[in-house]
Structure 1
Amino acid sequence: MPGHDVRLSSEAVAPMRAELPRVAERVVDAVIEEVPSYADAFDSEMAATIRNAVQLALSGFLTLAGGRRGADTPRAPAVEGSYQLGRGEARSGRSTDALLSAFRIGARVAWREMSGTAVEHGVDGIALVEFADLVFAYIDELSAAAVAGHTDELATSGRVRQRLLERMGRHLLAGASPEVVHEAAQRAEWEPPSTLTAVIVPESQVRPVLSSLPAATVVLPEAPDLTEGVLLLVPDVHDAARAAVLRAVEGRGAVVGPARAWLAARGSYQRALRARLAGLGPDTEQHLPRLVLDADADALVDLRARALAPLADVRPSTAEKLTETLRAWVLHQGRRDEMAEALFVHPQTVRYRLQRLRELYGDALEDPDTVLALTLALA
């Protein structure tokens, strides 16, 4: 377009400029009629913006065609106006397909109206052909600017919303007050679900996993104490829906925490994190006993030492066999035949070992607290 050869006379441009308001209305009417998604746009606050953009574009074109100033100057406001129009359309939820359709229809109507006026005022056939080329090249440039604005707006709004969602997620994990978390959710335009489930996924697996999860899933690239991977907070996948999540993460090195009321999502994350650190997964609900036992490693060491203290002075090889027998006794509730089968020994051997244990523990083996301690210590 820079350096174009079209130079319409002022006698032709002046009447076309006088017709701009009417032409703009014709363009708007045609767009409303032919592009369904614009049917209600001109009853909204966008109406004035769109009409102004049409007139600005047509005015800039006529200035360009009249050759009054440099090639770039007259179209610069129209290009900027189209760019901003594209951003506004993205905010309104209309697609680039609708936007480009509007430009094509606008170009057709504007050309029909202005070319008729041009012919009436002496523009010859050769100049009219060049005029047509300029019209459509100009519209192509404005269309490209509008699409760029549309794309930039979506990218910008997406990044902004992601940051707001991350902020809300950080509040949840930090145990912020419900008021603070609710406000953060409102700012992110995120509708709170009934529950959230924490899913820790390796960074390389985030995209394929997300494709199978609800759109409202909150993605947290950084979470407290998470040195590797990405945390996903998935809404309303409790009960039967949990199976679908487990299928989505199967074989991907992920860990799925329990469903928790959304304001208590920190509990789901903490359990998933503990399971991941312990090398357990993907379903934390399948590892509850181990997670309970590992919740306080130091306490478990102390518990084992105290529960097995009567064996401290027994020869190591004998202590090992007696410890195995104690574990079988707890797990099989004293049923000797089942204990013998589990230990791969004769029932008489089990009887002998139990007698030895009763000598070492005395009446403590009848004490519920001792049995509980042994159950935990030997689990």
Structure 2
Amino acid sequence: MTTPDLPAGPAAHTAISAATAARFDAILDELARDESIADAVIDRGRAQFPAYASVPSADLIEAVGRNRALAIQTLRSGVIPPPEQIWEAALSTHQRLAQGLSITDIMGGFRESLREIQSRVIARTSERGLDPQIALRASTLLWDLGDTFSARISLAYREIQIADEVARKQEQEQWIRRLLAGDLTDAEHRAAGARLSEAGPIRAVVTGPLPVPLSAPLPDTLYLDQGRAAGYLPADQTLPDTISYSEGSLGDWHTLPESHRLAQQLQAAAELLGRQGRNTLADLSWRIGVPASPSLNEFLRRSYIEPVLAEGEFGALILDSIRAFIGHGLRVDAAAKSLPVHPNTLRYRMQKFEELTESSLGEFDTLVEVAWALAVAGGSEDQRVV
């Protein structure tokens, strides 16, 4: 019961007797038992917000009961609970959104509950001759409660939106994973046909480690996985220059699993060779086989790299020179200019390479093997095999 010396409830904020406070508490007790409040709120709510017609009456009666209990608790205490403690708002928001109502409908429905309680408080305090200030204080509390309840509805709505977006993203990610793996269910297979049949040519994409932060959001057709991304893109779309990635073969959605495997192989080769930016099969060509040939890589390294590096710093210069020679289409003058050294200096280094490796750069097989060995060995980007 509210008494004059307790700072709680509308009656406690006016200079009234304990008897008057008890009479106000009695009004609140009556409202707590008044089941007709639900009928009035539901009738007026459905008239104001037609969407409530689709909500079962039992659900609305339960919700009005929660709202009434919250309002009476607030009137007794004289304290508006903080938004995060108003669980009733979060529950109603989840339930009504699931039933197809809008956030405006949800807020409006709660205010109808408060409006009905307010009108009955005003009527009963007047009938029983209570100080009008009590009804005024009660009205102020109820409207403040309405604002706080609405704030909690907005917060719950935002939380639901975020959760729905996360769920949508996760579902999209799993769908793309299965699409690239060729592991769609029959239903998903039909959906993919309807979804992608008119998309035109597409190809799989696999990125290297993504820069942080990204200069622009990734397309929705890519998913993130441990700092990388994979997915598919239409023929006319590329990723920003700041992202290193590889593209599989172009085709329709049926060929995406094969395109994805190719993109994975290309990206593995690109990272092993230190290539940045966009990579295609046309760019990497035979180099795609480097990561998958460890035994061959080791053999060529022992044959063409180790004997030269045994010469120390001069050996490193020799390898740089051979890279330039092969990278410039076997043109001595162009390769020498790129280093830059005199053409005769380049010829001397080439001769030393042949002596150290017991090979001839004039033989086609040797050139192929040396190019492969240099790709495995690595080097500066401007001297790497291109």
Q: CA deviation at 1:129?
A: 0.9
Give 1:158-173 correspondences, 5 Å limit.
158=165, 160=167
Aligned residue number for residue 143 of structure 1: 150
Aligned residue number for residue 198 of structure 1: 206
Verify: 1:283 aligned to 2:291, yes or no. Answer: no
Aligned residue number for residue 18 of structure 1: 36
Assess if the C-alpha contact under 8 Å between 1:103 and 1:139 holds in 2.
no
Assess if the C-alpha contact under 8 Å between 1:280 and 1:287 holds in 2.
no
When residues 284 and 10 of structure 1 are mapped into structure 2, their CA distance, relative to the original with a 3 A threshold, is closer
Assess if the C-alpha contact under 8 Å between 2:75 and 2:141 holds in 1.
no
CA distance in 2, matches of 1:212, 1:81: 37
Residue identity opposite 2:205 in structure 1: T
Verify: 1:85 aligned to 2:103, yes or no. Answer: no
CA distance in 2, matches of 1:280, 1:64: 68
Assess if the C-alpha contact under 8 Å between 1:255 and 1:282 holds in 2.
yes
Aligned residue number for residue 183 of structure 2: 177
When residues 178 and 27 of structure 1 are mapped into structure 2, their CA distance, relative to the original with a 3 A threshold, is closer
Deviations 1:123-179 (A, max 9, x none): 642232133134224434543553454344345445555555665676678x57343
Secondary structure, aligned partner of 1:7: helix
- Segments of structure 1 that go 5 or more residues without pairing to the other structure are 33-38, 73-77, 222-229
CA distance in 2, matches of 1:58, 1:332: 80
Q: CA deviation at 1:340?
A: 8.1
Deviations 1:18-37 (A, max 9, x none): 2531333213433x3xxxxx
Aligned residue number for residue 29 of structure 1: 47
Q: Equivalent pairs: percent with the same residue? A: 12
Assess if the C-alpha contact under 8 Å between 1:197 and 1:234 holds in 2.
yes
Verify: 1:345 aligned to 2:343, yes or no. Answer: yes
Tell me the C-alpha RMSD between the 2 structures. 5.8
Verify: 1:257 aligned to 2:246, yes or no. Answer: yes
TM-score (norm 1): 0.57
- Segments of structure 2 that go 5 or more residues without pairing to the other structure are 12-23, 80-84, 375-384
Q: CA deviation at 1:62?
A: 7.0
Q: CA deviation at 1:307?
A: 8.7
Residue identity opposite 2:44 in structure 1: R
Which one of the candidate residues 106, 109, 112 is aligned to 2:112? Answer: 106
Runs of 4+ residues deviating >6 angstroms: 92-95, 304-308, 319-343
When residues 235 and 52 of structure 1 are mapped into structure 2, their CA distance, relative to the original with a 3 A threshold, is farther
Assess if the C-alpha contact under 8 Å between 2:38 and 2:61 holds in 1.
no
Verify: 1:268 aligned to 2:257, yes or no. Answer: no
Q: CA deviation at 1:83?
A: 2.0
Secondary structure, aligned partner of 1:280: coil
Assess if the C-alpha contact under 8 Å between 1:86 and 1:145 holds in 2.
no
Deviations 1:231-277 (A, max 9, x none): 223542x43320xx224xx2xxx422215654453543453344335
Residue identity opposite 2:65 in structure 1: L
When residues 210 and 3 of structure 1 are mapped into structure 2, their CA distance, relative to the original with a 3 A threshold, is farther
Aligned residue number for residue 213 of structure 1: 218
Give 1:111-126 correspondences, 5 Å limit.
113-114=119-120, 117-118=123-124, 121-122=127-128, 124=130, 125-126=132-133
When residues 273 and 20 of structure 1 are mapped into structure 2, their CA distance, relative to the original with a 3 A threshold, is same
Q: CA deviation at 1:331?
A: 6.6
Aligned residue number for residue 36 of structure 1: none
Which one of the candidate residues 127, 130, 134 is aligned to 1:127? Answer: 134
When residues 165 and 3 of structure 1 are mapped into structure 2, their CA distance, relative to the original with a 3 A threshold, is farther
Verify: 1:56 aligned to 2:61, yes or no. Answer: no
CA distance in 1, matches of 2:220, 2:58: 32
CA distance in 1, matches of 2:114, 2:32: 21
Residue identity opposite 1:257 in structure 2: S
CA distance in 1, matches of 2:25, 2:273: 77
Aligned residue number for residue 225 of structure 1: none
Aligned residue number for residue 82 of structure 2: none
CA distance in 2, matches of 1:28, 1:47: 11
